[in-house]
Amino acid sequence: AEAQLDAWRDQVYAALAAAQDADEDTSLRAVVDAVLAESDETPQTRRFLNFLLSSEIETEYGGSAEDLSAYWFDNGKFFPGDDALFGAGFQVITEYLARDLQIELGQVVQEIAWGQAAMRVLTDQTEYLVDQVLVTVPLGVLQAGSVRFTPDLPAAKQQAIDKLGMGVLNKCYLHFPEAFWPADVDWLEYIPEEHGAWTEWVSLQRVAGLPILLGFNAADQGRAIEAWSDQEIVASAMQTLRNIFGDDIPDPLDYQLTRWASDPFALGSYSYDAVGVSPTTRKALAKPLQNRLFFAGEATEHNYYGTAHGAYLSGLRAAKEML
């Protein structure tokens, strides 16, 4: 099976490389379907290719193969260094960056009126008069129109918001009474019958010192399970693990779930390059307006979108623009 996967992987990535020279952009799914059309497709072949798409691309970028741009899906750069896991959670970063700052919590911004000499930021509780505004809400919030801009944003800015894709990568943490998986294994992969369902698992045993497995669901599958109850999600995860390790593994003691697409202050996990974008799309999103309305966040970062370091770097860029 591993040799077959490697062979299909080579074919898919060769087809994606060839798609870079096509006259017009298309989706990753269209590229893979073209590969299948030139082969003897079987249910196993389709299952393998769906696994490759889910495991190596959809889980990485958060978008579905039907929506990801064959031209630009992997247009970002790789940041040097190893991955980092924060045992105390990502809040250690925000708490450090927020030191000595006055941050007003518990208020929802509803409108930014930027057309007059004095800009107004209206929340559900009060109004602020300001000289400059830095907008850092996620792309999904901008796409939903949750914050009203008066006057409307310029056409190029709005088009950039509309063209980019907002991806989903949901997580399911399962804390077990004991580890039943190999102690020296950090990453597990599963080839499911259903596209995108629980293809990737990470063991946090060596990092957290606790028998915890983290399962992922990305893109369309990630959105779909948000409608399930907690119990249904955990049961689905456990069925997958029992398919791998047998029926005798224990039930989890506890669990934690994310539902990023349903979070009104996120409406997704991070952005991706959808069919129809270009290298200038993110630059248009990041462009300041009249030296008073500025934009930051991972979606505005051309080189490192979809990452925490990309969001941080975009903030540094916007701060320089505001000075």
Q: What is the pLDDT of residues 145-155, one digit of tens each?
A: 999 999 999 99
The residue written with tokens 């850092």 in the block is 136
Q: Identify the helix (H) or strand (E) that includes residue 141.
A: helix 139-144
Q: Does some domain include residue 86?
A: no
The domain boundary, picked from 236, 262, 288, lies at 262
Q: Is the pTM of this model over 0.85?
A: yes
28 has pLDDT over 80: yes
Percent of the chain with pLDDT over 70: 100
Contact, 219 vs 63, CB < 8 A?
Answer: yes
- The answer to whether residues 173 and 258 belong to one domain is yes
Question: Residue 88's pLDDT is what?
Answer: 79
**How would residue 158 be classed by pLDDT, with cut points 50, 70 and 90?**
very high
Q: What is the mean predicted confidence (pLDDT) over 309-314?
A: 96
Confidence check: pLDDT of 287 > 80: yes
Does 116 have pLDDT greater than 90?
no
Tokens of 198: 């629980």
Q: Are 38 and 10 part of one and the same domain?
A: yes
Could you tell me if 241 and 272 lie in one domain? no
> Distances from the Cα of 112 to the Cαs of 15, 77, 109, 268, 294, in angstroms?
45, 33, 8, 22, 12
If you count DSSP H runs as helices and E runs as strands, how many of each does the chain have, helices first? 12, 13
Please tell me whether residues 222 and 292 are part of one structural domain.
no
Position 49 scores a pLDDT of 87
Q: Evaluate if residue 5 carries a pLDDT over 80.
A: no
Q: Is residue 85 part of a domain?
A: no
Report how far residue 4's alpha carbon sits from residue 149's, in angstroms, rounded to the nearest whole number: 52
Contact 259, 226 (CB under 8 A): yes
Average pLDDT of the segment spanning 269-288: 96
How many domains in the chain? 3
Residue type, 212: I
The parent domain of residue 176 ranges over: 169-262
Q: Using one digit for the tens of pLDDT, what is the confidence trace for 241-264?
A: 999 999 999 999 999 999 999 999
pLDDT computed for residue 128 by the predictor: 96
Specify the higher pLDDT residue, 159 or 75.
Answer: 159
pLDDT at 133 over 70: yes
Report the C-alpha gap between 77 and 276 in whole angstroms.
20
pLDDT band at 1 (very low <50, low <70, confident <90, very high): low
Look at 23 and 275; give whichever has higher pLDDT.
275
Contact 167, 305 (CB under 8 A): no
- Which of 247, 262, 277 is at the close of a domain? 262
CATH code of residue 318: 3.50.50.60
What integer best gives the mean pLDDT of the chain?
A: 93
- Please report the pLDDT score of residue 45 as a whole number: 81
Tell me: the pLDDT tens digits for 192-242?
888 889 999 999 999 889 999 999 999 999 999 999 999 999 999 999 999
The answer on pLDDT for 320 being more than 80 is yes
Residues contacting residue 304 through CB under 8 Å, at least 6 positions apart: 76, 77, 79, 298, 310, 313
Q: For 51-61, what is the mean pLDDT? A: 93
Q: What is the mean pLDDT of residues 110-139?
A: 95
